[in-house]
Amino acid sequence: MTTVLGVDSSTQSTKALLVDAADGTVLERRSAPHPSGTEVDPRAWRDAFDASAGGLLPRAGALGVAGQQHGMVARDEAGEPVRDALLWNDTRSAEAAAELIAEHGGPQACAEAVGSVLVASFTVTKLRWLRDHEPEAAARVADVLLPHDYVSLHACVDGTAPFTDRGDASGTGYFSTATGAWRPDLAAAAIGHEIALPHVVAPGAVAGETAGGALVSAGTGDNMGAALGLSLEPGDVVLSVGTSGVASSVSATRVADGTGVVTGFANATGGFLPMVVTMNAAGILDLQSALLGVDHDGLSTLALAAPAGANGVTLLPYYGGERTPNRPHAVGTWTGLSAATTRADLARAAFEALLCSLADAVDELVRHTGQEPRRLLMIGGATASPALRALAPTILARPVTFLPAGEYVALGAARQAAWALSGEPDPPAWPLPDGETVESPPAPGVRERYTELRDRTESWHP
């Protein structure tokens, strides 16, 4: 049996999967935690890799690493970090993002140049912040790596030149999704001087080798790794219901959305991975459980006891502001409450609001890619809820397949490693895990009332 190792170097931890290269069967799992915070010494990721993956690597013929997107690992001439890495969730560079968009000539010009309208998570905004707030550190920067680049390089023999892939590179803000090449001029303009950037390895190619002789693939970003782990094909749409909601699809068409709603990433196989993100997702259900004084099972039971449409109660669930649509100062808004409103109605309205928000995200993907979903796949911890499973197809107006919990990012990294090991033009065909497909007729009037409330409150915030 030939085995490969897939590693997910995420915000919270490193997860390593030893996998059968032939069919993707997971043989062994290990993990190690990362420090918390929005800035982290990247050397901690190397330690976590050694602790989790080190014991498995001698048994693998190839290694792939997928990692959290956007993080800035700025190194000096000796290859040492000049400061702690700023992670994707560090928002101190929000003003820098606005400044750089203006330098591009506006949002649409920015999207045309790099595939997306910049936000604070993108690496280029962190380079500008470094220039303006820590100029001595900025002056020492010789090259900039992404988190997965840094971990992959650590696994390779000494002397290996830094490398990355087009998927993760497309989240930096200085990579052209139109040409598939770096825009070193944009990186230099952000930090104030020229810097070296890692070699972009072709999809499926070998990038390096470990000291033990295992091949190392290019690696990729976590979202691109998940797409590989789920064996997504054009027309597939994945809805991930976590703290935030993410709708993503594999597309052969490049997206350059000047509104900023759709992020025009590349993927790890030569195509594109447009994404729409909502700030509020599973947290909607967490808050509603707390407000009603029930656990999540109790919330689900209440919701299923109310009729579709929650007897006219509608929630706009923008509790922490929202990104899709872009309303950073919005708050949650309830309407339709009356003396007859029940606790079951309030529970039902929370589930319907979450699903309407995700349906909006799917609509944006369809509008910008021009392709109707072939399959809707749903993952994330919240999908264990019976109410979410029952109501999802009624709001999304399509069959929904719920996939079991799994380390899909690490599995995608393993699949990329198996691809590099095979030398074939396409990644190996690994079957999706068995899921449950749920079909139900659309719930009449629910999305219409949600849309009316969403549009009516567009210009209002406290």
pLDDT, tens digit, 9 for 90 and up, residues 117-163: 999 999 999 999 999 999 999 999 999 999 999 999 999 999 999 99
Give phi and psi for 373, each to the nearest 5.
-60, 130
pLDDT of residue 355: 98
Q: What is the DSSP letter of 262?
A: S
- 215-219: average pLDDT: 98
Per-residue pLDDT at 459: 59
pTM value is 0.91
pLDDT band at 234 (very low <50, low <70, confident <90, very high): confident
Place of tokens 């490969």: 4
Residue in the structure block whose two tokens are 């295992």: 214
Least confident of 58-62, 148-152, 316-320, 349-353: 316-320
CATH topology of domain 3-223: Nucleotidyltransferase; domain 5 (3.30.420)
CB 103 within 8 A of CB 67: no
With b for 16 or more beta-carbon neighbours within 10 A and e for fewer, the 374-403 pattern comes to: ebbbbbbebbebebbbebbbbbbebebbbb
Peptide bond into 441 cis (omega under 30): no
| Rounded average pLDDT over 90-107 | 95
Tokens describing residue 270: 């030569």
Which of 68-72, 77-81, 243-247, 297-301 is least confident?
243-247
Q: What is the CATH number of domain 231-402+432-462?
A: 3.30.420.40
462: pLDDT strictly greater than 60: no
Q: Which of 149, 222, 236, 360 is catalytic?
A: 222
Instruction: Answer yes or no: 222 catalytic.
Output: yes
Residues 398-436 have pLDDT tens digits of: 999 999 988 999 999 999 999 999 999 999 999 988 899
Give the per-residue pLDDT at 460.
58
Q: Are 156 and 164 in contact (CB under 8 A)?
A: no
Domains 3-223 and 231-402+432-462 share a fold: yes
pLDDT of residue 457: 87
| Percent of the chain residues topping a pLDDT of 90 | 89
> Mean pLDDT score of the chain, rounded to an integer?
95
Q: Show me where the domains of the chain are located.
A: 3-223, 231-402+432-462
